[in-house]
Structure 1
Amino acid sequence: MDGVESSSEPKSRSALGTALLIILALAGAWAALRHFSGGVLGAGAGGYDWDFGVLWKYRSLLMSGLLYTLLFTVICVVLGLLVGLVTGLGRLSSNPVITAPLRAYIEVFRCTPVLVQLVWFYYALPVLTGIEMSAVVAATLCLSLYGGAFYSEIVRGGIISIDAGQTEAAKALGMTRLQLLRRVILPQAFKKMVPPLMNQSIMQLKNTSLLSVLAVPDLLYQGQVIAHDTYRPLELYTFIAIAYFAVLLPITIWAKRMEFGSGPKEV
């Protein structure tokens, strides 16, 4: 009975947190409606005449920026997962010739700001390699490797968390190392890896807001272009913040539920 009660506590806290987030979102939407309709928080408050009509005029540009942001995130997450899987498995090797460069790669990307990495990949890497690359290619390469460094540690941590006794039993049955990974270790480790993988993927989506420094046409960059054209930066950045929130809130709630669902079941 104690196990059932304790396992229900995280779920109740999650439900309470979700309810609070929804209430805050509704309160924000209500305040925005009051503001836009000329209520208590109406136009002219604070000395600024708000005009959100500009958003409708540039709706196609904003939607293209949002779609570009989502598509770019999916591509970088998929590539990052592939890099992380290969790197994480490589880190399990006992050969220092393999593990040393992989660890160096991971520490470099984890210990330097992603904004600095983006600028370096776009401006410095072509100088070193002699290979010209567009801003999109440089950003894709950078964010994929950046995410891969974090994904690799998640993969490695999930694999080493599996009981060593299962590995020994599988070897006693004559399984090869590949069969051991595919049939025994990875299916169990994947359940533990899902929550941190989801959280890191959410971070990847937020990191796309930095692409504007390379003039990649994501949502933030399109908003900056429109703001320079209309001199309405507050309306544009407010919309961008709401758009990111609207996309990330359902994903965050889903990731939290998966995190509770992947925990140990007690009876």
Structure 2
Amino acid sequence: MFDWSILVANQNLLWAGLLTTLKYTIVTSIVGLAIGLVVALAQLSRLRVLRYAGRIFVEFFRNIPLLVWLLWSYYALPIFAGIDISKQAAGTTALSLYVASYYAEILRAGILSIDRGQSDAARALGMSGAQAMRRIILPQALRRMIPPLSGQTIIQMKNTTLLSVITIPDLLYQASYISSFTYRPMEVYTAIGCIFLLILIPLNYVARRLEAKEMH
């Protein structure tokens, strides 16, 4: 029989874990979006070296499992690169670069979806390529990219559960810790699942509404 008092007695740990999860989701999504934009623009560059560099970045991070990259960032960098990195920095770096590779493809596709005539019109008005991108192309593309970017950010929140493997006290780590001394994993992990559902179902609904709005 479920003993929900376990959750009440340890609610401070659960709240702390939730705040950590939300913090890493927000920070890594913002950093990843900035990196992803740079990578997307690199792939659209006229310079072949930049296009290749952008493509290599995307293929590298999209094809290595996040768990492997997370563990490598924390345990292997100090060994092979002599970089003394904290678990917080390793977690932020791994999650940011990983999601950046997905954001980059979303951004690249969004930019390419804008009619080339928009760019030609901007050039005719005397704008440089960078000005046309900043003032004309990106503002229009962002409207189309909001739904897929929202969906990827939702996935990013679920990805943060892997932070527990390097002992960052996120929601899943706190659940494991509570289970270790209460011996009531069923209640704890059920609560974790419910917390994610309460947060992600509304976000998924909003993402679908945005997508439907954009399609119409």
Fold shared per TM-score above 0.5:
yes
Q: Which amino acid aligns with 2:10?
A: Y
Is structure 2 residue 80 aligned with structure 1 residue 128?
yes
2: CA distance between counterparts of 1:101 and 1:171?
27
Partner of 1:157: 109
| Match runs of 1:218-233 below 5 Å | 218-233=170-185
Q: Give the TM-score taking structure 2 as reference length.
A: 0.97
CA deviation vs aligned residue, 1:110-136 (integer Å, no higher than 9, x gap): 112111111111111221221111111
Is structure 2 residue 130 aligned with structure 1 residue 178?
yes
Partner of 1:99: 51
Q: 2:161 aligns with which of 201, 209, 226?
A: 209
Q: 2:8 aligns with which of 26, 34, 56?
A: 56
Partner of 1:9: none
Three-state SS of the structure 2 residue aligned to 1:162 is coil
Partner of 1:85: 37
Moved more, 96-105 or 113-122: 96-105
Q: Which amino acid aligns with 2:173?
A: Y
Partner of 1:74: 26
1: CA distance between counterparts of 2:154 and 2:62?
16
Contact map agreement 2:73 2:94 (CA 8 A) in 1: yes
Q: What is the count of residue pairs matched by the alignment?
A: 216
Partner of 1:260: 212
1: CA distance between counterparts of 2:42 and 2:109?
13
1: CA distance between counterparts of 2:179 and 2:156?
25
2: CA distance between counterparts of 1:127 and 1:103?
27
Per-residue deviation at 1:156?
0.7
Partner of 2:189: 237
Per-residue deviation at 1:152?
0.7
Partner of 2:98: 146
Partner of 1:200: 152
Partner of 1:31: none
Is structure 2 residue 200 aligned with structure 1 residue 248?
yes
Q: Which runs of 5+ in 1 are unaligned?
A: 1-42, 44-49
Query: % of aligned pairs identical?
Result: 47
Moved more, 219-228 or 162-171: 162-171
Moved more, 125-134 or 136-145: 125-134
Alignment RMSD, CA only?
Answer: 1.0
Query: Which structure has the highest helix share of the two?
Result: 2
2: CA distance between counterparts of 1:148 and 1:182?
20
Three-state SS of the structure 2 residue aligned to 1:262 is helix
Per-residue deviation at 1:165?
1.4
Per-residue deviation at 1:246?
0.6
2: CA distance between counterparts of 1:148 and 1:174?
32
Three-state SS of the structure 1 residue aligned to 2:169 is coil
CA deviation vs aligned residue, 1:46-73 (integer Å, no higher than 9, x gap): xxxx212111111101110011101110
2: CA distance between counterparts of 1:96 and 1:58?
55
2: CA distance between counterparts of 1:132 and 1:182?
38
1: CA distance between counterparts of 2:121 and 2:54?
29
Larger radius of gyration: 1
1: CA distance between counterparts of 2:53 and 2:42?
10
Per-residue deviation at 1:202?
0.4
